[in-house]
Amino acid sequence: MWKLISLSWLLVLPIVRPDLTIPVTVPGISSGSLDINGNVVLNVNRIQDILNQFQSIVQSLYNIQSPELGSAAENFRYVMDSLVEAGAPIFQSLSNVAKISSGNITRDFGGIRESINYAVGLNQDHMSLVNKTTQIVGVNTSLYFNGVLNSLASNLGNMSEILNKIESAVNGIKRENRPSQAAIRALLPNDNIKALNAVLRQYILTGDAAIPQIRSIVSRVQSVDNFRNRISVSINQQRQYLNNTLARIVPYLQSNVISRFRNSLASLQSQVISRSSRAATALSNLIVLLPDVLKATVNQTVPVIQALARNVSNDANILLQQISRLSVNEALPYVVLNETEYFLNEASRNLTVSMTQRARFADACFARFNSYFDQIPRTVYSQLSTCVWDTASDLSSVAVNMNYLIQSALIDLNNELQAVERCAGMVSRYSSEMTKYQAATCLNDARSYLQKREVYAQQMANYQVLLKNEISYSAQRYNFCMVTTFRQAMGLGAYLKRSVDKCLNGGPTVTPFWSISVGWRGKSGRRIRGKVSWG
């Protein structure tokens, strides 16, 4: 387009030629200036630089991870990218026309106007997307950027009108028949060129003013996203520590609790079976020494001894099966940790929104309180780990002390079987008939005592009741530890939320601690309960 202006210069040369390859030299276009607004090429270069900054600043929004921020970040980034993609062809074409002769001003200006119409047509869509970010960036910021978009679209519309006037003026010069240089100068659309540079300059001023605002929004969204991610990372890190802790609990229970019970009961089985076998062997040796009338006593006693060994072995096996299923509720610590994460996110909501909306006191409150959101998960994990290990240690102590009851039962069983062995030991090859009858009477009494087995039966019943009670007591302690940890976590979250809200409302940044009343239920409404189970 501008090349046609250069044509007017050629018309005053001695030889007029149809080619338009000479760059435009009219002041205010590719060089020089008609006023304080400079020339088209320099202004367009500055606008292209501004658009590049728009696009480069928002590139980091691609990395936003928080779901709450992601949608707003995507909308805002899309608007900036679309603004650049729609504007770049306009200003690149305008720069080309201003610097390189083409000879077809209608075609060149037509392409620019077409690009302008496309860019202006996107304005409503852009504003609609900006409005969708209001919940995150705030009403004032949303209105500001809608104002920027309207101003840029208006500038483009004004530019299109001015280009029409310039095109008309250049075509008028072209229609002149060998005009003089003075005539050409008189016909140059200097006022329109000034107006075009003024519009470009206004675009520059609007864009320059928007850059720090864009940078501020992006920076705040990134800061908040990093903050939210820090909470998530901190929770996940504590969750991994909890995984490691609970992974060590099962082998600990196996080696320090279940194995102790198993060894104790296995020892009971082994010793009773060994002692019973020895007593049965002694009776078998005795039977050849007794008269037929007394052999029946031996034959009646041996099955009783064997039944005793079987019963003890069966009782031990039943207890071993129950104890082998001894476990600590591993799901509950995760429930507490998940509830902690939920409450921390709730407590951080006002703080993060105030940051992205650039609310008053937001920066000061964020600087003061944001680190606490990392500390609380570490505190909660530490207490959860203590709950788990204290319970495991309790169960280990229970196993040690319960072994003494097994030893007490073994004392009685050894005494009963020793009575049988003592009876069998009364008779030898040379014993008198009276001694043999004494041994038979001894065996009858011992057998009767064994058949009743009142002491052993009561001891085993006591053992089972005491074991179940001790495990129940351990579960209650575990339950208390979990619930109090949960309540403390919720209390810290409530305290933090109130402190942040008070700070954002202009209250003191140091908030005294007050009594916190927190329910016993999580956000799901499920009551927090601990459990140590067996059998």
Is 480 part of any domain? Answer: yes
The model's pLDDT over 192-243, given as tens digits with 9 standing for 90+, comes to 889 999 999 999 999 999 999 999 999 999 999 999 999 999 999 999 999 9
- Whether residue 211 contacts residue 53, with contact meaning beta carbons closer than 8 Å, is answered with yes
Is 391 part of any domain? Answer: yes
Residues 372 and 303 in one domain: yes
- E strand or H helix at 328, and its extent? strand 327-328
Q: Per-residue pLDDT averaged across 33-50, rounded?
A: 86
The model's pLDDT over 415-443, given as tens digits with 9 standing for 90+, comes to 888 888 888 888 877 788 888 888 888 88
Q: Is the pLDDT of residue 507 over 50?
A: yes
Highest-scoring range by mean pLDDT, 7-16, 93-102, 170-179, 435-444: 435-444
Residues 260 and 182 in one domain: no
Residue 32 confidence class, pLDDT cut points 50, 70, 90? low
Is 31 part of any domain? Answer: no
For 68-77, 417-426, 458-467, 520-529, which range has the lowest pLDDT when averaged over its residues?
A: 520-529
Residue 435: its pLDDT value, please?
Answer: 86
Is 512 part of any domain? Answer: no
Q: Is the pLDDT of residue 491 over 50?
A: yes
Strand partners of residue 27: 31
Residues 301 and 435 in one domain: yes
Alpha helices in 29-180 (DSSP H): 40-58, 67-99, 105-121, 123-131, 134-137, 139-175
Residues 45 and 176 in one domain: yes
Residue 448: its pLDDT value, please?
Answer: 86
Residue 30: its pLDDT value, please?
Answer: 67
Is 29 part of any domain? Answer: no
Is 215 part of any domain? Answer: no
Residue range(s) defining the domain that contains residue 355? 228-506
Residues 172 and 271 in one domain: no
Residues 178 and 255 in one domain: no
Residues 158 and 269 in one domain: no
- Whether residue 466 contacts residue 472, with contact meaning beta carbons closer than 8 Å, is answered with no
Percentage above 90 pLDDT, the chain = 40
- Whether residue 160 contacts residue 116, with contact meaning beta carbons closer than 8 Å, is answered with yes
Is 111 part of any domain? Answer: yes
Is 212 part of any domain? Answer: no
Residues 121 and 245 in one domain: no
R_g (Cα) of the chain, nearest Å: 47
What DSSP character marks residue 26? -
Residues 167 and 307 in one domain: no
Residues 184 and 237 in one domain: no
Q: pLDDT: is 531 or 72 the higher one?
A: 72
Residues 95 and 183 in one domain: yes
The model's pLDDT over 87-134, given as tens digits with 9 standing for 90+, comes to 999 999 888 888 765 567 788 888 999 999 999 999 999 999 999 999
Q: Is the pLDDT of residue 336 over 80?
A: yes
Residues 261 and 132 in one domain: no
Number of domains making up the chain: 2
Residue 333: its pLDDT value, please?
Answer: 94
On whether the pTM is more than 0.85, the answer is no
Strand partners of residue 29: none
- Whether residue 375 contacts residue 522, with contact meaning beta carbons closer than 8 Å, is answered with no
Using DSSP's 3-state secondary structure scheme, residue 525 falls into: coil
- Whether residue 462 contacts residue 405, with contact meaning beta carbons closer than 8 Å, is answered with yes
